[in-house]
Structure 1
Amino acid sequence: MDISNLIDLIPGLPSDLGLECLTRLPHAAHRVALQVCSQWHRLLQSEDFYKHRKKFGHTRKVTCLLQARQEQPLQGKPASLPSPYGISIFDPDTMTWDWVLPVPDYPFGLPMFSQLASCDGNLVLMGGWDPTTYQPLSALFVYDFRTSLWRRGKDMLDKRSFFALGSGLGRVYVAGGHDENKNALSSAWAYDPSSDEWAGLAQMARERDECEGVVIGDEFWVVSGYGTERQGLFDGSAEVLDIGSGKWREVNGCWEEGGCPRSCVGVGKDGKLVNFRGLDPRLKAGLCGVLVGSRVLLSGSDYDGAPHGFYLVDMEEGQHRKLRRISVPHCFSGFVQSGCCVEI
């Protein structure tokens, strides 16, 4: 679609000014804008429009969180099911919150312990446990922010839980975790949302259950974890995949020995690993951190059962950085399981 040839986007304005006005339209208004006319609908859903917004700096980085919904019970939801989880969106620039539309296959909430990654402006949701049977799931779904629609992707090629997940260079990377028999895994896969295809990767040197993943540049880091025979004894090393060559290397001493990395691994401005638990030692329970631009959204509490708080930390402030508590609407104040940053 050649967006430079569009005319009469906004009656009374030259075409280039009309395009610039729509380029600056906040994403939260796109659902309504899609219904204005067929030309706006085609424009807002086009890949060229996304690239145009990105080129001129009008995309936004937001956090998407797997979060317990603090709302009235969903109509028709069986009483035996646990409190539902949904995907919330927080924009740290406007300090606004919203919900991503529910996955049609999960009308009463997302599977327990499912995981999120972002890839080229899309959300990829995979895995988790069936809330009724507690059996691991292999289903995968992709949410397109341009269309505000979910689509079913190709299932994961095996059932695994508590795996490392990261995204970069147009693909989503999966490694480690454990299988249906609680055996820790060393295998790894890559998923391409554009082609809806999985590709095998070389195995890691060791098993890594409950590891955490992050992409730094052109490397996929699988941080900590433990083997089948070392339940809960978290390792201080990481294995790093060179995405270009497909080869792994091991990095020792990059993580706190015995420290769980789940939802706590980030990247500092120097490109090195950051343990979000170290940003404030008072946050000891239910900690989750998501790096969004130069800031981190932290959620957690002082102890189990304490009120859940939300904080923003500016990583550019170096050693003088402080946690700034933010006010959150009640319906978005629930426990955060994990999250990711999305550029939309």
Structure 2
Amino acid sequence: MDLLEELPEQIFRDILLKVPYKFQQQIKQLLEPAKEMMECPQFYQDRIKFGLAEKYICLLGTAAISLYDPVDQSCIMRITIPSGFQASSDSQILCVKRNIILVGLSFQGKHTTETLIYDVLSSSWKQAAQIPTARSWFACCASPEGSIYIAGGRTNFNPRRALRDAAVYKVDEDKWELLPEMHQEVGVCTGVSFKGMFYVIGNTCQRFDSNTGLWSTVNMVGQSLLSIYVLFEQLIGFGTNRIQQYDWKGNVWRELDPLPQELVQVSPRVWWGQIYATVWWDRIFLCGKDTDSIDQPTIFYMYKPGAPLSERWISLDRLNLVDMEVVSVSTIEI
């Protein structure tokens, strides 16, 4: 280690840039100069710029986040959620740059307005600006430019009352801003960012245009799908036994592939939205459960659209987090 510290600063930094994220924490603990370099935002930006960054799957459980490396099918890190907070089946995990952001958490059994952010460079948590209204089963997504949108859902005070309000979180400014209200209340719903629009999909489909600041109603069929995501710049939905892609021109969902038999069991037996998906390079990582019991392992798969049938689905048998009920997933590049 002494030899590394004696290297010219630029060479030392070039070496550190190539260190896999899973080993960076150990290096920072051993070398103070390395800690200073590796926790600088420019270090993160250069890893992205020079193609040295890796992509990990963030698995949100009720009390912790696991960072999963699909390359060797192992969890490289477990990040405990700050004491008192707990994720539930409608909590959301979103990744914006080097930040892992949690919204919709519970505190002492009630949904909270707190926004928690974990900085993967400094390995530290912070409580960020509060969401204007605590809510459950709301629409939420991160936009490509790095803002987080929320809308709809239900409140702690009246679980039967659906909401019309919406807000956007500017991560760099640590600030939530109220948006104009939607045309209609939406209770249980999901949110996606697609081609510059924030879509809220539930009993209706409404979209917000950040350029005009206006909401409009969209006539979308098949809103009863369990889970809807934007994957590979396409709107992808998971039904009771199949994956579908939305055809915007024809206003119809078209079947891509049937789901593996294990995942087919998920949809009829548990609550809405229990198949979770995120993109990892040229594949889709997805998971679900065939029972409500936390004692049963979550089922994990990798799916590569358009690949030969024998290579399209890969069961991640080695990922067996029996003690972790996954409630949301996202991908981070670090």
TM range (shorter): 0.7 to 0.9
Q: Deviations over 1:172-212 (max 9, x none)?
A: 11111112202111211011222221111122222222211
* Counterpart pick for 2:56 among 62, 65, 77: 62
SS for the counterpart of 1:90 is strand
In the alignment, structure 1 residue 166 sits paired with structure 2 residue 133: no
**Alpha-carbon separation, structure 1, partners of 2:299 and 2:147:** 33
What amino acid does structure 1 have at the position aligned with 2:178? G
SS for the counterpart of 1:185 is coil
Q: Deviations over 1:59-78 (max 9, x none)?
A: 222221222xxxxxxxxxxx
SS for the counterpart of 1:94 is coil
- In the TM superposition, residue 129 of structure 1 has moved relative to its aligned partner by 3.1
Q: So what's the TM-score if we normalise by structure 2?
A: 0.80
* Counterpart pick for 1:266 among 225, 229, 239: 229
- In the TM superposition, residue 114 of structure 1 has moved relative to its aligned partner by 2.5
- In the TM superposition, residue 17 of structure 1 has moved relative to its aligned partner by 3.3
8 Å contact from structure 1 (residues 9, 18) kept in 2 = no
* Counterpart pick for 2:130 among 141, 149, 155: 155
Higher strand proportion: 2
8 Å contact from structure 2 (residues 99, 118) kept in 1 = yes
8 Å contact from structure 2 (residues 22, 77) kept in 1 = no
- In the TM superposition, residue 327 of structure 1 has moved relative to its aligned partner by 2.0
Residue number in structure 1 paired with 2:110: 135
Residue number in structure 2 paired with 1:10: 4
Give structure 1 stretches of 5+ with no counterpart: 1-7, 68-83, 227-234
**Alpha-carbon separation, structure 2, partners of 1:145 and 1:307:** 27
In the alignment, structure 1 residue 126 sits paired with structure 2 residue 103: yes
The root-mean-square deviation of aligned C-alpha atoms, in Å, is: 2.7
Which moved further from structure 2: 42-51 or 199-208? Answer: 199-208
In the alignment, structure 1 residue 240 sits paired with structure 2 residue 203: no
Q: Within 5 Å, which residues of 2 pair with 1:73-222?
A: 84-106=62-84, 109-110=86-87, 113-130=90-107, 134-168=109-143, 169-180=145-156, 181-182=158-159, 183-222=161-200
SS for the counterpart of 1:298 is strand
8 Å contact from structure 2 (residues 66, 79) kept in 1 = no
8 Å contact from structure 1 (residues 9, 19) kept in 2 = no
Q: Deviations over 1:110-154 (max 9, x none)?
A: 456322111122011122334x5x322112111000001101112
8 Å contact from structure 1 (residues 86, 99) kept in 2 = no
Which moved further from structure 2: 139-148 or 282-291? Answer: 282-291
**Alpha-carbon separation, structure 1, partners of 2:315 and 2:93:** 25
Residue number in structure 2 paired with 1:251: 218
8 Å contact from structure 1 (residues 113, 129) kept in 2 = no
Residue number in structure 2 paired with 1:292: 280
In the alignment, structure 1 residue 32 sits paired with structure 2 residue 26: yes
Between the two proteins, the alignment pairs up a number of residues equal to 302
Q: So what's the TM-score if we normalise by structure 1?
A: 0.78
- In the TM superposition, residue 13 of structure 1 has moved relative to its aligned partner by 4.3
- In the TM superposition, residue 303 of structure 1 has moved relative to its aligned partner by 6.3
